[in-house]
Structure 1
Amino acid sequence: MKKHRKLIVIVSILVLLVALFLPLPFFIESPGSAQPTADSITVNQHHDQRAGKFLFTTVELSSATPLSLIWAACTPFHDIEPRQEVMAGDNTKEYLQMQNYFMENASNSAIEAAFKKAHRSYTKEYLGIYVMSFLKNSHFKGHLQVGDTVSEIDGHRFSSSQAFIKYVKAQKVNQLVTVKYQRHGKTHQTKQKLMAMTHPRRPGLGISLVDHVRIRTTPKVAINAGDIGGPSAGLMFSLQIYSQLTKQNLTRGRKIAGTGTINSQGKVGPIGGIDKKVYAANREHAQIFFAPNDRVTKKILKVDPHYENNYTIAKKAAARLNTKMKIVPVKSLDDAYNYLKTHQ
C-alpha cells in the first residue's frame, strides 16, 4: 500500500512538472506594460519631470507550457500563437536582434518626426548596411549574422544601401568579395562568393538589408528602452521628444497612452496586439489612448474579409473593459498633437 502511494506521489509530481515546464511550440501573447516614455528618453541629458505622463504600451510574449496554454485559453486578452508564425523562421537570437533593430529604427524615426515638426535641424550619419536575413544558399550565411552592420565591400564605403547594391550588381556571380562588418562594437571581415540572385537575375550577397543610420541632433536626444524591442513605441516617443523640445506641456497632468509606428514624416502605422495594449493602459489609469487608424481598403478586405484596423479593435477592447479611457484615432503625429492642444 505504501509503495502504491509513493508511486502515485511520484507520478503526480512528474505530471505537475510536465504541466509547468514542458515547452510547447506556441507563444502566449498577453497584456504587457504601460511605461512612462520620460523614463526612457532624455533631451539635452534631462528626463521630463513635469506632471502627467506619456505612456508607451507593450505586449508580453511568453513560451507556452501545458498549464499556461490552458490558462491562456480561458483568460480574456490572452492569445495563443504558433511559435513558427511569430518567429517567421528565425531562431530566438535572430528574432531578438530583429526586434532590437525595429526599436532602434523606431527611435530614429521618432526623433526625425519630432524635429521636423518643431522645425529643428538634425543630421543623419550613415553607418552601413544592417543585415536582416539570409537566403538559403547565401555564401555569407554562417559568416555574417542578423544584426551585423556591413560597412565596406572590397574597400569601398557607401552612403546608402542603394549604392551598395549598385556596386554588387556590377560584379560577377561566384566572384570573391571582401566584406568588412561590425558586430557588438568590434570590426571583422570575411571573404565569400557572390551568389546568383533571381527576379531579376544578378549577383548578390544573398542577404536582405536596410540602411543603418544614426541621428545626430542639438540638443542631444537619447532613447533607452531597455530590453523592450519592436517598432510600436514610435508615436509615443515622438510626442515625448516634441513636448520636451518645444517646452510645451501637452499632458496637462494627464496619463496619455498609445501605440503606433511612426516614419520620419510623422505618419502613424498599425501594430499588433492593440487590445492587450488598451488593457495595459487602462490598468495604469490612462485617460487617453491613441490608436492607429489605418485605412481599410478593398484590397485589404479582399485578402482578409474580416480585417479590422487598430482603432476598431481598440474601441472594442475598451468596451469590453467598460473603461472611461478615451480611444482617439490618429493617422499622424499632427493628429495626436492637435487632439492634445484642443482637449486640455
Structure 2
Amino acid sequence: MRRVVRRLWKNYKGWVLALAVLVVLALVPLPYYLFMPGSADPVEPVVTVQGGHKDERGKLLLTTVYSLPVSNVYLLAYGLVTGSEIEPKNQATFGLNDADYEVLMKQMMEGSQNSAVVAALRYLGKPVQVVQKGVEVRGILPNSAAQGILHQGDVITAVDGQAVANQDQLVRDIKSRSPGQTVRLAVKRGNAALELTVPLIQLSGSTGQDAPQTGLGVQVVTVQKVESPVRVDFQTGNIGGPSAGLMFALEIVNQLMPGDLTKGHIIAGTGTIDVDGRVGQIGGVEHKVVAAERAGAEVFFVPADALPQDHNQRDAEAAARRIGAKMRIIPVHTLAEAVMFLQSLPVKPSSSNR
C-alpha cells in the first residue's frame, strides 16, 4: 500500500501541489474593492408619497455602482481584464471595517431620504420643518490626527466657536484651512459636552481623481429631524449611500404635482441633495453613465461642476463620449433646475417609448 501511495505521489505530486496553490489563491482575500456599473432602477416603486399619484408614462431612474470586495486573486484578475475600477479597501471604505461601513452607507441613505423630502416639499411650497443638530462621527481614517481624540458617535456642533449644523457646513469650513492647523471642536459625547483640539490633515481624493483637500480625516453624517404633514415612505432594499437624493426629490415632486414630469421619457440621474435643493457631487459617476445608457435612458442628470475640485460633469461627459451614449448629459446645480428641464421636454408619443 505504501509503495502504491509513493508511486502515486511521485507521478502526481506536481498536480497536487499546483491544485493546493490554486486553492490557497482562491481563499486568500486581497485588500481591494472592484467598482463597476450597477443598475438603473425605477424610483416610482421605491417612493410612496401620501396623497400623491403614481401615473408616470415614462420613468425616473436612480443609478447605482456595483462594489465587490476582492476575495481572491482570481477576482482581481477579473477586474483587470474587464477594466473595472480597483481601489484599496481602506480608501473604498473610508478606513472602516465592513460592518461599520455598511452602517455608514445606511445612515447616508436615510439622510438623503430626509433631505429629499425637505427639498421637494420646500420646492412645492408645502410646510416642512427640519432641525439639524450637528454632525455625527461615523468613522476615523487610519491616518487621521483625530485618532484617540474623537470617538465614533461624537456629535460635532461647532468649529472654533462657530456653530455647525450639518455636514456641508463642516466640510466648507474645514477645507478652507491648511493641513497642520488645529481647530477647536465643540463635541457632544453622550451626555457630556467637550471642547477638543484636533490637527487637520491633507486628504487624498476619494477616487484617486479628486484634488487633495484639508480635513479632519473623519467620516460624518448630519444629525437631523424632519417634521412634515406629508408622509413619504421609501423601500430602498440594499441600496446605500447618499447619491440617490436628487432622483428621490424629483419623484416626490412628480407624485405631488399635477401632470407627469417624465412626459413619457426615460430620465436617469445621480447626485446628493441638501435641504435647500442644492445638488452635490458623488462618486462613481462614470459607472452610472454606463448603467443609465444600458437601461435606455434619454437624459442623465449629473451634478454640475461648480467648484475647481468638482469633476462629476466632466467625468460624465467623458464617459458618455467613450461609450458612444445616445442620451443627453444634463448638469444641474439644484432641484429647481432639474424640474425646469423636465417641464421643457415635449410630450413623447406612447408608440415611440423605448
Q: TM class by shorter-chain length?
A: 0.7 to 0.9
**CA deviation string 1:141-162 (max 9, x = no partner):** 5xxx55x999xxxxxxxxx79x
Residue among 325, 328, 336 paired with 2:327: 325
Q: Is the 8 A contact 1:41 1:47 kept in 2?
A: no
1:255 corresponds, among 266, 269, 277, to 266
| Residue of structure 1 aligned with 2:82, choices 61, 75, 80 | 75
Specify whether residues 213 and 38 from structure 1 end up closer, same or farther in structure 2 by C-alpha distance, changes over 3 A only: same
Identify the residue that residue 275 of structure 2 maps to in structure 1. Answer: 264
Is residue 308 of structure 2 the alignment partner of residue 281 of structure 1? no
Aligned residues: 295
Map of 1:338 onto structure 2: 340
Are 2:301 and 1:290 aligned?
Answer: yes
1:197 counterpart SS class? strand
**Which amino acid counterpart does residue 119 of structure 1 have in structure 2?**
G
Q: Does 1:239 align with 2:250?
A: yes
Question: What CA distance in whole angstroms lies between the structure 1 residues aligned with 2:229 and 2:196?
Answer: 45
Structure 2 counterparts to residues 153-302 of structure 1, below 5 A: 179=190, 197-198=197-198, 211-297=222-308, 300=309
Give the whole-Å Cα distance in 1 for the aligned partners of 2:321 and 2:39: 20
Shift of 1:47: 7.4
TM-aligned CA distance change 1:46 to 1:334, over 3 Å:
closer
The 5-angstrom pairing of residues 113-124 of structure 1 reads 113-124=119-130
The code of the aligned residue for 2:282 comes to: I
For residues 16 and 28 of structure 2, what CA distance do their matches in structure 1 show? 17
Query: Cα distance, 1:276 vs. partner?
Result: 0.3
Match of 1:40 in 2: 46
Report the counterpart of residue 17 of structure 2 in structure 1.
11
User: How far did 1:274 drift?
Assistant: 0.6
Please give the secondary structure, in 2, of the residue aligned with 1:281: helix
Secondary structure of the structure 1 residue equivalent to 2:109: helix
Q: Distance in 2 between matches of 1:7 and 1:321?
A: 48
SS of the equivalent of 1:107 reads helix
Q: Deviations over 1:54-76 (max 9, x none)?
A: 11111111111211212212224
**What corresponds to 1:132 in structure 2?**
138
Matched-pair contact (CA < 8 Å) for 1:102–1:231: yes
Deviation for aligned residue 1:251: 0.9
Are residue 28 (structure 1) and residue 43 (structure 2) matched? no
User: Cα distance, 1:323 vs. partner?
Assistant: 2.1
| Gaps in structure 2 of 5+ consecutive residues | 1-6, 141-145, 157-164, 167-183, 201-217, 347-354
CA 1:5–1:285: 2 relative to 1, 3 Å: farther
Identify which of 312, 315, 335 aligns with 2:314.
Answer: 312
* TM score, norm. by length of structure 2: 0.72
| Whole-angstrom CA distance in 1 between matches of 2:221 and 2:80 | 38
With over 3 angstroms needed to count, the CA separation of the structure-2 counterparts of 1:104 and 1:58, relative to structure 1, is same
| Superposition deviation, residue 125 in structure 1 | 5.7
Could you say what secondary structure the match of 2:82 adopts?
coil
Relative to the length of structure 1, the TM-score reads 0.74
Q: Is contact 2:32–2:69 with CA below 8 Å preserved after alignment? A: yes
Report what 2:174 is aligned to.
none
Contact 1:110 1:237 in 2 (8 A): yes
Contact 2:247/2:270, CA 8 A, preserved across alignment: yes
CA contact (8 A) 2:52 2:255 kept: no
**What is residue 183 of structure 1 aligned with on the other side?**
none
RMSD: 3.5
Instruction: Tell me the residue number matched to 2:73.
Output: 66
Unaligned runs of 5+ in 1: 151-159, 162-168, 172-176, 181-190, 201-206, 301-307
Conserved 8 A contact 1:45-1:221: no
Shift of 1:314: 1.1
Deviations 1:181-215 (A, max 9, x none): xxxxxxxxxx8x96853579xxxxxx986652232
Following superposition, the deviation at residue 281 of structure 1 comes to 0.9
Q: Distance in 2 between matches of 1:333 and 1:260?
A: 10
How many angstroms does 1:20 deviate by?
3.5
